[in-house]
Structure 1
């Protein structure tokens, strides 16, 4: 069975081929007569440098098994990849007298890996260009917008008395729209900078982050009569400034989307599951229908009109982007009128993967 599925060759201690199976001949396109007595250099593709083979020979000449992936060239000039295990056979003096090489072709796997690598590189470049475009476009839009707001404010202050009711209404609408546009631009810049302006990961106590967030939201908490209960939270390796932004957005939403006549109640709880940290922000607000789960994390998407609740529809998109930059996930659960729960799952150590 091994002889049928594997590519097998045996060489003497100098590397001269003394046996090959049919599979070896088939993939290399060489006849058995051409291979016997020759060296494996006959298959050298030029892909690996001299140090690669020196390291391999040092390993097997020392009596140790070597494993690795090698790109070979067949007689017809085509290339193929093999996963190779070379086992030295030792004499009574513990010196190798021959080597058995067992190989399995992995050409298709390597081609798929290369295609994935190229696709990922193109995607990264595309994302970088999109971030740069968003940042530049938003920055360039700010200057003319400042002038609209500046001259609009001057006109409102200096000539308001000379305007009739309809003209004052037009001016108010213009300034209101310009201010809303400014918020959109600022949020777009925030979204585009999640990766571009990112800092390195460091040990970040999330209780300390939440303490700062509650301090920043103190006035809103007082005005809404909210109660915020934060439990014991874990420490994670993260960008502390982005953790602040993440939880300020989540808590800010809990304060914003509260039911009329009902004071907001927000609970923040954390737990550790192996290498993962799980933090849930739960509230008693208006909630939402879970059929809109994908929509709430899409930039500029809103479930409510701007006259009902302020905002631009960027906050949760920023949250998801921050969490994904940290190798984590952000999920939500809710029912209309029964509040919402947003759960952040993060690796406790930078570079770890979710399982």
Structure 2
């Protein structure tokens, strides 16, 4: 039998017992902290993935930019080849004028010098070392040259004039690129190369383009070797080249360029961190390696992450989630602990009241003489219960005021530093505290209905209702609506509670009015033999029939909290007042057309013995 009784315990009662358990507050705190940690972890993981994708995009952009600009620079050198092909003989003056017009230092940063060199055979070595006369352009020998001579050179550095007549062929690094350009008939980039003193400076690399005899066939390897007339070459200073072609906003990525397919200190050509003085890996460490083939020569690029991949706002987001989540967790824990303490105080007070009532009942059984003692005990118990209501009100409202104060303090001091998401968190916390304050106020009103009453008096119902309408009339006028009140009878009722019924019903009619239609509200009554039925009719959104029996229960709301605002106690308060007056309340409605709320009041008010007792 006891098992059957346990199974018949209402679900709401079990939920109340769970909330009163001290372990529940700690459970909610633990769950909240776990969820906060999960939110922080997910936010950090998302931020890391965002930074990684941003890093990879910038890596691809740098690779594409380098390859694209080297192709453009190649076209500049092909223009020099075109100069030779368009003229029988290119004089030094023409060469200088053409390259001056290019404005290398202004429009083509990184090209240190552009020159033209020719192959020289053994028998010509003695007469081709002169720097004053350009070497002949026609070279039809099929044999490979033993050395090459630079005969034209354009550079902004005076010391580069010492390179006229310089043999580029003797360098193994340059000879590989020169042979590749000659044999394939296309541009060829060399490996890292340093010119000798006094021209020597930071390492450079050269790009060679072949120049063949006019109208000479170049469809075979032997034909290309036989028809070679010389090479147009460009010498690139890689630090200036990278500075000129890379966008300054590509922060967050550092990279090194190595000559060839091996990344060793000996093959290092460029280091962006040394170039701009930056260091450090930033919030996350990413690394990427790629091989870039430029005019047939491989470069190895090693990319690493640096500060700047994520913004300050993105970096603060996980921290903000952790802080706000922790505050919310602590507030919930504080509220639950406060409710638990209030329950314990109420339980002790109820036990004390029970003992007092039992004692009074025993004394009443002993005789009429002891009746006054019982009345005194009951009066004292009611006073203590009233004091408890005020204490509960203070204890619940005090932490709410603290939450609101700290929320406003956070907004004033740190609001300008927060992004829109952080400000939205603060607004959400303030709104929740405001709704909880309204809920506490409504709960106290609901509880006081049994203890704070005004003696019934004869009133003109129409005159009293008009007083309430004056309160709502500005809102109705602003919304273009209309409210009408038909003649109402005179009744003997509690005037305060009577007006409270109309205030709640009219307020609900305005609250649930259609947003695109001016509100129309009609108030009237119907007299019957022993009672008067009042009604409030509106043209609002209406209520589904399935919910008409539920809307008068406490906390029953048909809309999400805050939309429209409310606590879910307005109609419950109306029902409580009407029942204490000896009447009843109900509603009729049709979705989309409006609702009509009815309540009845007896013409003769019930005596205190006839009044319904408040639920215990």
Shorter-chain TM-score category? 0.5 to 0.7
1:163 matched to 2:421: no
Q: Which residue matches 1:232?
A: 487
Q: Which residue matches 1:284?
A: 539
The 8 Å contact of residues 281 and 342 in structure 1, kept in 2 or not, is answered as: yes
Q: Which residue matches 1:316?
A: 571
Aligned length: 231
CA gap 1:301/1:134 in 2 versus in 1, 3 angstroms: farther
Q: Which of 384, 388, 392 is 1:137 aligned to?
A: 392
Q: Which of 523, 529, 542 is 1:268 aligned to?
A: 523
1:254 matched to 2:532: no
Deviations 1:139-172 (Å, cap 9, x if unpaired)?
A: 4201111121122223222331133433322211
Q: What TM-score does the superposition give when structure 1 sets the normalisation length?
A: 0.60
CA gap 1:305/1:326 in 2 versus in 1, 3 angstroms: same
Aligned-partner Cα distance in 2 for 1:332–1:242: 19
Q: Which of 456, 473, 476 is 1:218 aligned to?
A: 473
Secondary structure of 2:548's counterpart equals: helix
The 8 Å contact of residues 135 and 193 in structure 1, kept in 2 or not, is answered as: no
Secondary structure of 1:247's counterpart equals: helix
The 8 Å contact of residues 138 and 188 in structure 1, kept in 2 or not, is answered as: no
The 8 Å contact of residues 286 and 338 in structure 1, kept in 2 or not, is answered as: yes
Secondary structure of 1:294's counterpart equals: coil
Q: Which residue matches 1:149?
A: 404
Aligned-partner Cα distance in 2 for 1:274–1:247: 23
The 8 Å contact of residues 234 and 271 in structure 1, kept in 2 or not, is answered as: no
Q: Which of 463, 467, 483 is 1:208 aligned to?
A: 463
Deviations 1:171-226 (Å, cap 9, x if unpaired)?
A: 11111111111111111111111222221111122112211111111232123222
Q: Decide which structure has the larger Cα Rg and report it.
A: 2
Q: CA deviation at 1:131?
A: 8.4
CA gap 1:274/1:130 in 2 versus in 1, 3 angstroms: farther
The 8 Å contact of residues 246 and 319 in structure 1, kept in 2 or not, is answered as: yes
1:345 matched to 2:600: yes
Aligned-partner Cα distance in 2 for 1:128–1:341: 39
Aligned-partner Cα distance in 2 for 1:129–1:330: 32
Q: Which residue matches 1:178?
A: 433
**Where is the strand percentage greater, Structure 1 or Structure 2?**
1
Aligned-partner Cα distance in 2 for 1:303–1:177: 19
Q: CA deviation at 1:313?
A: 0.9
Secondary structure of 2:450's counterpart equals: helix
* Structure 2 residues not aligned, in runs of 5+: 1-364, 368-381, 612-616
Q: CA deviation at 1:250?
A: 0.4
CA gap 1:225/1:195 in 2 versus in 1, 3 angstroms: farther
CA gap 1:291/1:131 in 2 versus in 1, 3 angstroms: farther
Q: CA deviation at 1:135?
A: 5.7
Q: CA deviation at 1:137?
A: 3.0
The 8 Å contact of residues 134 and 188 in structure 1, kept in 2 or not, is answered as: no
Aligned CA-pair RMSD: 2.7
Q: CA deviation at 1:307?
A: 4.5
The 8 Å contact of residues 235 and 348 in structure 1, kept in 2 or not, is answered as: no
Q: CA deviation at 1:260?
A: 2.8
The 8 Å contact of residues 224 and 255 in structure 1, kept in 2 or not, is answered as: no
Q: Which of 546, 552, 569 is 1:297 aligned to?
A: 552
* Structure 1 residues not aligned, in runs of 5+: 1-46, 50-126
CA gap 1:306/1:207 in 2 versus in 1, 3 angstroms: same
1:198 matched to 2:465: no
Deviations 1:242-266 (Å, cap 9, x if unpaired)?
A: 1111101101111111123111111
Deviations 1:2-41 (Å, cap 9, x if unpaired)?
A: xxxxxxxxxxxxxxxxxxxxxxxxxxxxxxxxxxxxxxxx
Aligned-partner Cα distance in 1 for 2:414–2:563: 31
Aligned-partner Cα distance in 1 for 2:395–2:451: 17
Secondary structure of 1:281's counterpart equals: strand
Q: Which of 550, 561, 584 is 1:329 aligned to?
A: 584
CA gap 1:317/1:130 in 2 versus in 1, 3 angstroms: farther
Q: CA deviation at 1:229?
A: 0.8
Q: Give the 5 Å matches for 1:55-66.
A: none
Aligned-partner Cα distance in 1 for 2:478–2:550: 29
Q: What TM-score does the superposition give when structure 2 sets the normalisation length?
A: 0.35
